[in-house]
Structure 1
Amino acid sequence: MSWLTAVLLVAAGTVATLLGLALTAVLSLLVRAAVVGLYRAVVRWTSIPRFAQSDNASR
């Protein structure tokens, strides 16, 4: 294997890793938003006003 092939393989692996990390970050943000939305919907449906404002719950 020539050094150019090795460099290209390392570059391709690096790009694939960065794309995988970006995809993981996007998916985790989407899942987090869905979980928060579901939590707030359940709180509204069960009418527990103390937990309706999650920002104020920790204060």
Structure 2
Amino acid sequence: MGRGRAKAKQTKVARDLKYRTHETDFGALARELHGERDDNDQVDDYDDWSDYSPRSSND
């Protein structure tokens, strides 16, 4: 018991996903899936960690 609300929510979400109109850029999706990146999408993954220095083994 107690599944009524959860099931109703899942049904609502599923219906919304089924009937919503999407503006999908299939070219961008294909590039992402094949590992190709645009120049605008390139992000330096280490930039967030550049302020940190490695700790010495004595710490």
Bin the TM-score by the shorter chain: 0.3 to 0.5
When normalised by structure 1's length, the TM-score is 0.37
Which one scores higher on RCO, CA 8 angstroms, separation ≥ 6? Answer: 1
When normalised by structure 2's length, the TM-score is 0.37
